[in-house]
Amino acid sequence: MKYSEIAALSTEELTARVGEEKKNLTKLKFAHAVSAIENPSRITKIRKDIARLTTELTKRKAAAVVAEA
């Protein structure tokens, strides 16, 4: 997921997307533990997407705090 796509999402959509990606990561890790998966690099990609989404959420929360002050 590109940063421009992440920036276009609303805060609610970001929160929902983080939840979805975490579920996907859990399922993928379980599938990888049980048997080999086709593309194990997907685990890394999903982890990075979660980090990008979380970073954007944190950035927005910090901006909201500064705006209130």
**Domains in the chain: ranges and CATH:** 3-68 (1.10.287)
Q: Are 6 and 57 in contact (CB under 8 A)?
A: no
Instruction: Enter the tokens of residue 52.
Output: 């990008």
What is the per-residue pLDDT across 37-57, written as a single tens digit (0 to 9) for each? 999 999 999 999 999 999 999
Q: Tell me the whole-structure pTM to 2 decimals.
A: 0.91
**Alpha carbon distance 33, 8 (integer Å):** 35
Nearest to 29 by CA among 47, 12, 17, 5: 47
- Tell how many helices (H) and how many strands (E) occur in the chain: 3, 0
Give residue 69's pLDDT band: very low, low, confident or very high (50, 70, 90). Answer: confident
